[in-house]
Structure 1
Amino acid sequence: MPMAFVTGATGFVGINLVDELLERGWQVTCLVRAGSNTRYLSKRAVRIVNGSITDLDSLRSAMPAAPEAVFHVAGDTNMWSRNNDRQTANNVTGTRNMCTVALEKRAKRFIHTSTISAWGLVDGTITEDTPMKGGLSWINYQKSKFLAEQEVRKAIERGLDAVILNPGAIVGAQDSHTWARLFLMVAQDELQAIPPGALSFAHVREVVRAHVAAYELGRTGANYILGGTDATMRDFVTEICRRLGKPRVPSVLPLGVLSVFARLYALRGALTGREPPITPEVAAMAAKTNPCPSLRAQEDLGYQTRPLAEMVADCADWLIAQGYIERPA
């Protein structure tokens, strides 16, 4: 029975990855921070160990010797500059620590979950050959994820067998905190406008299958973009409204107006100490249109894409089943 060590297992992608590994007969150890919500994870046949990716000693105690795979899924997706120091510690120092301990423990392979955002605020189509500019970005999420990839590459030079995955916007079941917030706003008639821009949407089940395939088939040191259905934010929200029985689709907010609101919210957040609902970082990223072909992942990993309607349905149905959203009449 192969052994996997998984970080970020209480999160959206992590819990789906755990399910995929268990279905394939893996023995799974999950690193969980003290105080994390293990409501869903504790129902799985996994070993849960406490620790933090920012604490080397706790990692050394938590990671078993010679695991077949280390899946480093944990990441800080913060979009508020007030939390930049914490985010850098989690994404950069945390990844450095994970690589260090994986080398010490002689992990067979290290799968690093990065993001399309590691390319930074680039224009047009993104492929694996597009020069990465995340290190130059003023958005700390993009910069920290770029720098995290550099930590993986340094570890590869020291002998770590690692593969890097770059998902787009991930949608699907078991999401209660990422895109699920948008579903909740639609369900509660709180979404007043839609941001401009477009994204490449990926189904979470295909993303986690690609993680396992990366362990089995990925090329050491390679990046694999996991994109999917390219759609505007209006397309996405329209599909959510349709699934939740909401006839009114909000209008698209012009970028200039969105940016003004973002700056005002950021100012209020600085005064109150409360995280704003929209930040300049969110506004800047929401305005981009970056198609993300997944040809390398399709060829090497057998990665597949699914229709937007299917991902939206899976997310909505799970939220309804868990009581987050009322079933449409």
Structure 2
Amino acid sequence: FENHDGYAVSKYRGEMEVWRGINEGLNAVIVNPSVIIGEDAGKEGSGAIFETVRNGFKYYTQGGTGFVDVKDVAKTMILLMNSDIVNERFILNAENISYKDLFAKTAEIFGLPIPEKEAKPWMLNMAWRLTSLKNWLTKSKGGLNKATAENASKISAYSNDKIKLALNYKFIPLQESITKIANSLKSA
């Protein structure tokens, strides 16, 4: 657990408790969503990605990951609860995308220049340390942290084949979600 951030550890431990319950007779289904996005996410959490681009951020990273609309997460959870499916685990992911492409698509919707400078891992390492120092000096919170900096350069890809097959489910296309989020932020 030493090499993982608190969020990842808490998710893992929570899932282990559900599996323990399943072994003791609990009927449950586990969902593991990729990065959850949605038009009412605001400017924190995953919403910060879109707000950062909206503010004219000129950098991208080489990493990438999966994204899923919050509406898909809610719908699939309800469908699973109302089904006969038990004691299973499902990944909820609409699409995998590089951060470079995500930032480009988002900037396009905002009518902004596409980020063209790569933020190298060493730059991210310096940035999270400076952010941490600034937060300590000013007694504030937020900004880039170590876990976010590390994840920004990693490529993670997730398959949604199991949930699509089990529920015959079609996820909201990522471009549609990005457009709704950007339009929501434009009017905020």
Please give the range of the TM-score, normalised by the shorter of the 2 chains.
0.7 to 0.9
Match for 1:184: what amino acid?
A: E
Q: How far did 1:172 drift?
A: 2.8
8 A contact 2:108–2:114 mirrored in 1: no
Q: Where do residues 166-315 of structure 1 align in structure 2 (5 Å cutoff)?
A: 166-176=32-42, 177-189=44-56, 191-217=57-83, 219-315=85-181
Match for 2:172: what amino acid?
A: R
Tell me the distance in 2 between the aligned counterparts of 1:187 and 1:150.
38
Match for 1:172: what amino acid?
A: G
Match for 1:212: what amino acid?
A: I
8 A contact 1:201–1:308 mirrored in 2: yes
Q: Work out which of the residue numbers 156, 178, 185 in structure 2 matches 1:319.
A: 185
Residue aligned with 1:217, SS: coil
Q: Where do residues 46-65 of structure 1 align in structure 2 (5 Å cutoff)?
A: none
Match for 1:140: what amino acid?
A: G
Residue aligned with 1:201, SS: strand
- Which of structures 1 and 2 has the bigger CA Rg? 1
Q: How far did 1:288 drift?
A: 1.4
Q: How far did 1:257 drift?
A: 1.3
Q: How far did 1:204 drift?
A: 2.5
Tell me the distance in 2 between the aligned counterparts of 1:196 and 1:278.
16
TM-score by length of 1: 0.52
TM-score by length of 2: 0.88
Listed as ranges, the gaps of 5+ residues in structure 1 are 1-134, 325-329
Listed as ranges, the gaps of 5+ residues in structure 2 are none
8 A contact 1:268–1:276 mirrored in 2: no
Question: Is residue 163 of structure 1 aligned with residue 57 of structure 2?
Answer: no
Match for 2:51: what amino acid?
A: L
Q: How far did 1:258 drift?
A: 0.8
Match for 2:45: what amino acid?
A: T
8 A contact 1:203–1:306 mirrored in 2: yes
8 A contact 1:217–1:300 mirrored in 2: no
Residue aligned with 2:40, SS: coil
% same residue: 23
Tell me the distance in 1 between the aligned counterparts of 2:20 and 2:36.
28
Match for 1:188: what amino acid?
A: N
Tell me the distance in 2 between the aligned counterparts of 1:232 and 1:159.
41
After superposition, give the CA deviation of every residue in 1:176-198 in whole Å (9 maximum; x if it has no partner). 13332232233232x24223301
8 A contact 2:58–2:115 mirrored in 1: no
Name which structure has the greater RCO, CA cutoff 8 Å, separation 6+: 2
After superposition, give the CA deviation of every residue in 1:237-283 in whole Å (9 maximum; x if it has no partner). 10111111113424220112111211222233344432241011111
Match for 1:186: what amino acid?
A: V
Tell me the distance in 1 between the aligned counterparts of 2:162 and 2:83.
12
Residue aligned with 1:210, SS: helix
Match for 2:75: what amino acid?
A: R
Tell me the distance in 1 between the aligned counterparts of 2:121 and 2:95.
23
Residue aligned with 2:113, SS: coil
Q: How far did 1:136 drift?
A: 5.8
How many residues are aligned here? 187
